[in-house]
């Protein structure tokens, strides 16, 4: 789906937030979901980061848990829990808008601070490959599953399965012709339909999935992407990677790139990991600990990010102000009674 610039902020909407200017029958067949969890990635070329500051970040000690490591750019991002909460608020605002037109839109239960959001994907999770020894021993390269039977997963709203009337109110367009619709059953229908409800009542909420500046053309996304790419060529990271490769060869695994290690096992598409997969994953984590590859890589990327943050201080100051505003509004949004009509502003 093409991205669309926000008229209010000038930031690009992410695929999760984007709504099409027109939806013909052919495009409807391709648009499977209205809401999802995709994370935007940078699509434009990113200029190289300037030379790092004179004082590089010291690597944490080998074996430091990934949960204890936070890259400098994370101060300009929503936390994983906050991202999940803002996702819910957007769905709740959409549902509230749909009710004004006599239409139903499923809204999941409000996420709590200790719910699934607390364990959502974070920036550091597997950024440098698998790092958790316990997970490797139990799940190999597979993503860990809940120990007990989880509740039925939330089912995304399938746009094509919705009645034409609901599609019209949701997106503000005629689903058959793809043309803009300005009213529904005698009531004015704003541009973007109900899916843009949160953007209208809280323009500051228009941003990437992890906060302002995280969209495909945002400065935060650019820094995250460029620092990761350039960190792979830092001499200390190159040397630590080579040491990891040698360590893995000593365990019987010839893998030239730690990020491609999962692709070398044959059981990744199976529901559960095989014995060989677990053995390789355990060796992978152990070799990372022995060479401190994760710590060295984290320190190198942090140094690059600090340089980029200093270089883009003015832009990031604006991002931080917007982020603080969003976080300040989050409590009000979570406590608002979304079963009532949406207010003009929050």
> Looking at per-residue confidence, does 23 or 241 come out higher?
241
Q: What's residue 3's pLDDT?
A: 33
pLDDT tens-digit readout, 54-94: 589 999 999 899 989 999 999 999 888 888 888 888 899 99
- Angle, CA of 183, 189 and 190, to the nearest 5°: 140
| Exposed e or buried b per residue across 197-211, where buried means at least 16 C-beta atoms within 10 angstroms of its C-beta | bbbbbbebbbbbbbb
Beta pairing class for 183-184 and 187-188? antiparallel
Cα torsion 299, 302, 308, 311: sign: negative
CA–CA separation, 195 and 191 (whole Å): 10
What would the mean pLDDT of 84-110 be, rounded to a whole number? 89
Helix (H) or strand (E) holding 319: helix 313-335
Instruction: Write the CB contacts of 38 (distance below 8 Å, at least 6 apart in sequence).
Output: 14, 15, 16, 209
Cα dihedral 73, 75, 78, 80, rounded to 10, equals 80
Given a cut of 90, whether residue 320 has pLDDT beyond it is yes
- pTM of the entire predicted model: 0.74
E-strand ranges in the chain read 183-184, 187-188
CA–CA separation, 219 and 204 (whole Å): 16
> Looking at per-residue confidence, does 33 or 216 come out higher?
216
Given a cut of 70, whether residue 52 has pLDDT beyond it is no
Residue 188 bridge partners (DSSP): 183
Decide: 80 and 121 in contact? Cβ < 8 Å: yes
Residue 208 bridge partners (DSSP): 211
pLDDT tens-digit readout, 126-167: 999 999 999 999 999 999 886 544 444 455 567 777 888 899
Residue 33 bridge partners (DSSP): 158
The residue among 8, 174, 175 whose CA lies nearest residue 183 is 174
What would the mean pLDDT of 34-49 be, rounded to a whole number? 39
- Helix 275-291 vs helix 293-311: angle between axes, to the nearest 10 degrees? 60
Q: What are phi and psi of 262, to 5 degrees?
A: -60, -30
CA–CA separation, 277 and 50 (whole Å): 40
Least confident of 29-33, 189-193, 268-272: 29-33
**What's the longest Cα–Cα distance across the chain?**
73
């Amino acid at each position: 789906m093409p991205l669309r610039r926000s008229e209010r902020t000038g930031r690009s909407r992410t695929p999760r937030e984007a709504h099409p200017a027109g939806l013909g029958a052919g495009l409807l067949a391709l648009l499977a979901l209205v809401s999802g969890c995709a994370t935007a990635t940078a699509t434009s070329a990113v200029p190289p980061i300037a030379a790092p500051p004179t004082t590089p970040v010291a690597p944490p000690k080998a074996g430091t848990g990934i949960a204890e490591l936070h890259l400098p750019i994370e101060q300009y991002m929503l936390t994983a829990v906050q991202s999940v909460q803002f996702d819910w608020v957007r769905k709740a605002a959409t549902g509230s808008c749909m009710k004004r037109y006599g239409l139903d839109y499923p809204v999941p239960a409000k996420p709590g601070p200790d719910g699934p959001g607390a364990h959502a994907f974070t920036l550091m999770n597997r950024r440098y490959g698998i790092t958790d020894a316990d997970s490797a021993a139990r799940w190999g390269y597979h993503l860990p599953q809940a120990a007990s039977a989880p509740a039925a997963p939330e089912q995304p709203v399938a746009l094509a399965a919705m009645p034409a009337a609901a599609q019209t109110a949701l997106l503000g367009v005629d689903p058959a012709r793809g043309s803009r619709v300005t009213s529904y059953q005698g009531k004015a229908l704003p541009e973007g339909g109900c899916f843009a409800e949160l953007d209208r009542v809280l323009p500051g909420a228009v941003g990437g999935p992890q906060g302002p500046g995280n969209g495909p053309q945002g400065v935060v996304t650019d820094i995250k992407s460029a620092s990761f790419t350039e960190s792979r060529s830092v001499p200390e990271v190159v040397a630590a990677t080579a040491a990891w490769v040698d360590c893995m060869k000593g365990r019987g695994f010839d893998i030239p790139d730690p990020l491609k290690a999962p692709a070398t096992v044959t059981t990744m598409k199976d529901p559960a990991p095989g014995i060989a997969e677990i053995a390789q994953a355990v060796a992978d984590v152990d070799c990372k600990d022995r060479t401190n590859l994760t710590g060295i890589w984290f320190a190198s990327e942090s140094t690059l990010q600090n340089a980029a943050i200093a270089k883009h201080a003015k832009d990031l100051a604006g991002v931080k102000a917007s982020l603080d505003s969003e976080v300040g509004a989050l409590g009000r949004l979570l406590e608002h009674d979304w079963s009532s009509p949406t207010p003009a502003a929050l």
